[in-house]
Amino acid sequence: MPQTFFGLAGMGDLITTCISRHGRNRHVGERLANGETLEDILSSMRMVAEGIYTTRSVYHKANKMGIDMPITTEIYRVLYEGKEPLAAVNDLMLREPRSERH
């Protein structure tokens, strides 16, 4: 719902995730980009970076429903299959352009 996203909680969460050095999901992403494994990152964290688990759920649900979600797929591959983050970004950027509308 637009009201949820554009409310203080939705916008605040988005801003924290994207730009705050205190964001847990960003923290995980930066450590992955620096070459750490997800296992090592998780073992050193006391708080939950919910994006890790949300990615897994959304990835499996999208596959089950036949929905193509390239960003989610690449994040899943980085988190759970050990794909290098730079390789995931390159694969996303080099995808064949196509319509986002079906």
Indicate which CATH number applies to the domain containing 15.
1.10.1040.10
pLDDT at 72: 96
Could you tell me the pTM of the whole model? 0.81
- Say whether pLDDT at 5 is over 70: no
Return the minimum-mean-pLDDT range out of 2-6, 42-46, 58-62, 72-76.
Answer: 2-6
Confidence category of residue 98, pLDDT binned at 50, 70, 90 = confident
Would 68 be classed as within a structural domain? yes
- Amino acid type, 61: K
pLDDT at 87: 96
Residue 74: Cβ within 10 Å count: 21
- Say whether pLDDT at 1 is over 60: no
Domain that holds residue 86: 2-93
Name the domain count of the chain. 1
Rounded CA separation 84/88 (Å): 6
Chain mean pLDDT for the chain: 88
Would 73 be classed as within a structural domain? yes
Residue-wise pLDDT tens digits, 29-59: 999 999 999 999 999 999 998 899 999 999 9
